[in-house]
Chain A
Amino acid sequence: MIIGKPLDRVDGPAKVTGAAKYAADQHIPGLTHAVLVTSAIARGKIIRIDTGQAARSPGVLSVITHHNGPRFAYQPPKHPWIYGQTHVPLQNDVIYHSGQIVAVVIADTLERARYAATLIQIDYAVETPEISVEANLDKAFIPERGPFNLRYEYRRGDAHGALATAPVRVSGRYRTSMQHHNPMEPTATTAVWDGDHLTLYETTQALAFTRQKTAEMLGVDQKQVRVVSPYLGGGFGAKGYVWPHTFITAAIARSLGRPVKLVLTRAQSYTMHGHRAETVQELSVGATRDGTITAFVHSAVSQTSMLNEVSWEEMDATTQLYACPNAELTRRVVRLNLGTPTPMRAPLSVGGYALESIMDELSHATGVNPLELRLRNYSTHNPENPSQPWGTGKFLRDCYELGAKLFDWPHRLPRPRSTRRDGGWIGVGMATAFHPTYVSAATVSIRMDADGKALVRSATQDIGTGTYTIVTQTVADALGVPAKSVRFELGDTNFAPSAPSIGSRTAASVGTAAHHAGSALKDKVIAIAVADHRSPLYGIPAAQVTAADGQLFHRLDPRRRETYADVLRRHGPVDSEAVWPAAPGISRSYGAVFAEVTVDDATGEVRVTRLVGAFDIGRVLNAKTARSQAIGGMIWGLGTALTEHTIVDEHLGRILTANLSGYLVPVEADVPDVDIAFVDKADPAASDIGAKGVGELASNGATAAIANAVCHATGRRVRDLPITPDKLL
């Protein structure tokens, strides 16, 4: 078995030598460069836009504004999924947010386009923007349900009644910040037309979305659009949906008759493809004196944009994680003059932070150890559907046990603000991680040639999680060949349609299709061999033949054997293709995260000194890539807890932190010792290969665990993320 082994990344050598070609690395003859000009105001109108000087600047081929902008065949609706946003720039003079595209300059070199872009002069009629969630809470409303199954209201039992009569009641008002994904690779589009066929080299987490929506906007058939993305430099949600810069670039390339490349600057990435919405959440929990929870009431308000109605900050953990008969959840939005929010790694982490914080507050109120409190309210059935047992796929108890042991979680916690080391207060905290298991339909095709090597193809993506590697392993196991006999190609819509890389679904979805395609190919080759009188396997019932190490052999008489290559040399290449239609998605992924922090007395600086995570991700497909993802996820949660927030000027509505020196992502020096454990038990209800998602689950839990540890260290509950030093002084 190769599955589960810590196989080195098959794409590793290409990435460490610089040979891997990302979207902006393609060499295209005759390429031109596009540079965006963006709005300097957050609300109002363009009253004059002077492009004369820019158009006359050396090397400039075209200057596009709303006066001569491309016109499109479609208008995305107000719940735009799988478009990123409703607003299509360059169609009129209205400004909805700062950083909106107002002009595009195309020139023969990037520097000439960039210089010409500075020559465009714009006069605006400025209006006062709405940019504060807090100031607009009275205008919050429940969005219309869109095609994507986002849930804005839920209730069971009598949550308010149960809360009113509960012997212990705890309430908190939690705030989380606007955040930006900041994948290291900037978003890039290169559009190349050949007649009426378009090739897009695109930074996308979803080839199929890009193809479908670009075709829809341009009014062409999907078959005329090919999307290519063999390597993707992270995404975390920013590259999940289809945003205007993509189809605008494609439209300009079509009218110009030249290939056009657009690479967003880091600053532009703060307004071009979404962000995590700021939220204000009120959460109350009612319980008996021994900590048995009787009610949750959770209401949240998050930001949306002027034309969209959407909130991605799902809060299902409140209603699904703990056994509790009465629960109410309401999610509303307010319209602001900021861009449209989009999912960012682990949308559930925002509500999960509030839930796991209030659990900690309940622990303080009842005196029940945080870990014991969670075990006391453990759900064996889906609390939303008591007839549905979580069954054999829930191993959260194992997570608590493994994590507590690794961390050496104390049975009796010292009082808050009672432990000191080296001039700082020390504290520990823990939290549960929870994430739905999403899957999508996927197709994988395989061709095995006469040399016995398998070429596997699927139109999916590897956003860095390890898709190349785990599919290679899965197919190798299904065929019974060594991993080096399998080559996996992805990132091209010319291959069989497959799953998007959003919501931690790629491994389970594409992995399952890969398993079936491999098994089907093996069966075909066995059928050929047993029917071929030249084969040593001739006449053996097919069910008695199996394969390992590239050899097909009789189970009962393993001396009767031959290689795949032997069979295929006689018969020519064999193809297989498998479609996995996706499972119903009733599983969840779980984890337990434990943190230790030191808080400096004098500066209020929080240092995370230890971080332990134990996760139930179903079957572990590759011990090395899974571990790396889990660590990365936890450090992602550390950033949310302590450093990351997008700051907006409260008068002008402009983002003040639109770079990597103002928006602080964790760096090497911020990272503590991290330890990880996996339960590693297959969940057959999640996918046929027993795998569940990893990446987002692991970034849930860490944020609340760290926040709880800060409270334990300092005795102060900061309910406002990130916990920057000023909030502790």
Chain B
Amino acid sequence: MRVNITVNGEARQVDDVWPGESLLYVLRERLGLPGSKNACEQGECGSCTVYMDGTPVCACLVAAGQAEGREVRTVEGLASGDTLDRVQQAFVDAGAVQCGFCTPGLVVAAHDLLTRTPQPSDPEIREALAGNLCRCTGYEKILDAVRMAARS
């Protein structure tokens, strides 16, 4: 089937999509956007978090067809040219990145949190990001990054 999606502001048309494919697969394998990561394919880890019509979703749990006519924004669409988004910059500055595999999903999830709640409390940050697993950092610096981004 054919799927029309606006990805990072650009209208994209994808042909020969199998109806069972996930949005994550379409982004990674068909649209050349491997920034969103595939780590569990069950919606447990948050590594594939993207915006769909402004709402963060696990792209692995969205069937490609469900994205028809929607606007998708991935980690690749957050920076403006070479200027990092404040959340991206804060992740670098705070040392919230290690292996980097959970980072794209965390950046989108944190970006969404700050859009909804510009000055989140620590418990709000912990709760909002509890669905994004990280195996390297121990989370402390991720918390710092979100606080830092909220201040900037």
Q: Report A's interface with B, CB cutoff 8 A.
A: 6, 8-9, 11-22, 24-25, 27, 109-112, 182-186, 231-234, 236, 263, 265-266, 463-466, 624-625, 627-629, 631-636, 659-661, 665-669, 671, 673-674
Contact of A660 among B35, B45, B140 (CB under 8 A): B45
Q: Is the CB of B126 within 8 A of A671?
A: yes
CB < 8 Å neighbour of A628 from B28, B92, B98:
B98
Q: List 24 A-B contacts (CB under 8 A).
A: A8-B93, A8-B95, A12-B91, A12-B92, A17-B76, A22-B101, A112-B18, A184-B101, A184-B133, A233-B99, A266-B39, A464-B98, A464-B100, A464-B136, A625-B98, A631-B137, A632-B138, A633-B138, A634-B138, A635-B138, A661-B44, A668-B134, A668-B143, A674-B140
Residues of A within 8 A of B140 (CB): 628, 631, 635, 671, 673-674
User: How many angstroms between the C-alpha atoms of A661 and B79 in the bound complex?
Assistant: 32
Q: Is the CB of B84 within 8 A of A632?
A: no
Complex formed: what's the CA distance from A6 to B99 in Å? 17
Smallest CB gap from A185: residue in B: B101
Pair B42/A661 contact, Cβ less than 8 Å: yes
Most B CB contacts (10 A, CB to CB) among A17, A21, A184, A633 go to A184
Q: Does B59 contact A (CB under 8 A)?
A: no
List of 4 A-B pairs having minimum Cβ-Cβ separation, nearest first: A18-B35, A464-B99, A233-B101, A15-B100
- Tell whether, in the assembled complex, residue B42 and residue A184 are in contact, meaning their CB atoms are under 8 Å apart: no
A407 CA to B133 CA in the complex, in Å?
A: 28
**A236 and B134 alpha carbons, distance in the complex (Å):** 13
Min CB gap B21→A, angstroms: 6
CB-defined contacts of A666 to chain B, threshold 8 Å: 138-139
Q: How far is the CA of A12 from the CA of B132 in the complex (A)?
A: 19
**Distance, CA A569 to CA B131, complexed state (A):** 54
Proximity bits, B83-108, A CB within 8 Å = 1, else 0: 01000110111011111111110010
Question: Across the two chains, which residue of chain A brings its CB closest to B76?
Answer: A18
Interface centre among A233, A465, A634, A674 (most CB of B within 10 A): A233
Chain B residues lying within 8 Å of A111, measured Cβ to Cβ, are: 18, 20-21, 25
Residues of B within 8 A of A (CB): 18, 20-21, 25, 28-29, 32-42, 44-45, 47, 74-76, 78-79, 84, 88-89, 91-93, 95-104, 107, 125-127, 129-143
* A16-B107 contact given A233-B100, A667-B133, CB 8 Å threshold: yes
The smallest beta-carbon distance between B151 and chain A, in angstroms, is 18
Besides A112-B18, A636-B135, A667-B133, 7 other A-B contacts (C-beta < 8 A)? A8-B92, A12-B92, A18-B33, A22-B101, A109-B18, A659-B42, A668-B139
Docked complex Cα distance between A604 and B11 (Å): 53
A266, A628, A661 interface centre (most CB from chain B within 10 Å): A628
CB distance from A656 to the nearest CB of B (A): 15
The residues of B that contact A110 with a CB separation of less than 8 Å are 25, 29
Residues of B with C-beta under 8 A to A16: 75, 84, 88-89, 91-92, 97, 100, 103-104, 107
Residues of B contacting A22 in the complex (Cβ-Cβ under 8 angstroms)? 34, 37, 101
CB distance from A476 to the nearest CB of B (A): 18
Does the CB pair B42–A660 fall under 8 Å?
yes
Q: Is A234 within 8 A of B136, CB to CB?
A: yes
Taking CB as reference atom, which chain B residue is nearest A667?
A: B130
| Cβ contacts under 8 Å, B74 to chain A | 18
Given known A109-B18, A184-B133, A635-B138, contact A17–B126 (CB-CB < 8 A): no
Q: How far is the CA of A627 from the CA of B84 in the complex (A)?
A: 24
Find the A residue at minimum CB distance from B91.
A16
Query: Which residue of A234, A266, A624, A668 contacts B132 across the interface (Cβ within 8 Å)?
Result: A668
B98 in contact with A266 (CB, 8 Å): no
Cβ–Cβ < 8 Å partners of B38 in chain A:
24, 186, 263
Q: How far is the CB of B52 from chain A (nearest CB, A)?
A: 17
User: In angstroms, how far is the closest chain B Cβ from the Cβ of A31?
Assistant: 9
- Nearest A residue to B43 via CB reads A661
Establish whether residues B29 and A13, one from each chain, have CB atoms under 8 Å apart when the complex forms.
no
Which residue in chain A gives the minimum CB-CB distance to B82?
A13
Residues on A with C-beta less than 8 A from B127 are: 669
Which residues of A lie under 8 Å from residue B39 when comparing CB positions? 184-186, 233, 266
Q: Is B139 a contact of A184 with CB atoms below 8 Å?
A: no
Are B135 and A236 in contact, with the CB atoms below 8 A? Answer: yes
What is the CA–CA distance of A17 and B36 in the complex, to the nearest angstrom? Answer: 10
- Cβ-closest chain B residue relative to A661: B44
A8-B93, A669-B126, A671-B140 as given contacts; A265 in contact with B135, CB under 8 Å? no
Q: Which residue on chain B has the smallest CB distance to residue A232?
A: B99
Give the chain A neighbours of B141 by CB distance below 8 A: 627-628, 631
- Do residues A6 and B135 form an inter-chain contact, with CB atoms below 8 A? no
> Taking the nearest CB of chain B, how far is it from the CB of A633, in angstroms?
7
Which residue from A15, A182, A236, A671 sits with its C-beta under 8 Å from B138?
A: A671
Q: Which of B96, B97, B102, B130 has the most CB of A within 10 A?
A: B97
Whether A628 contacts B37 by the Cβ 8 Å rule is: no
The answer to whether A668 and B88 touch across the interface, beta carbons within 8 angstroms, is no
Q: Which of A19, A27, A112, A674 contacts B32 (CB 8 A)?
A: A27
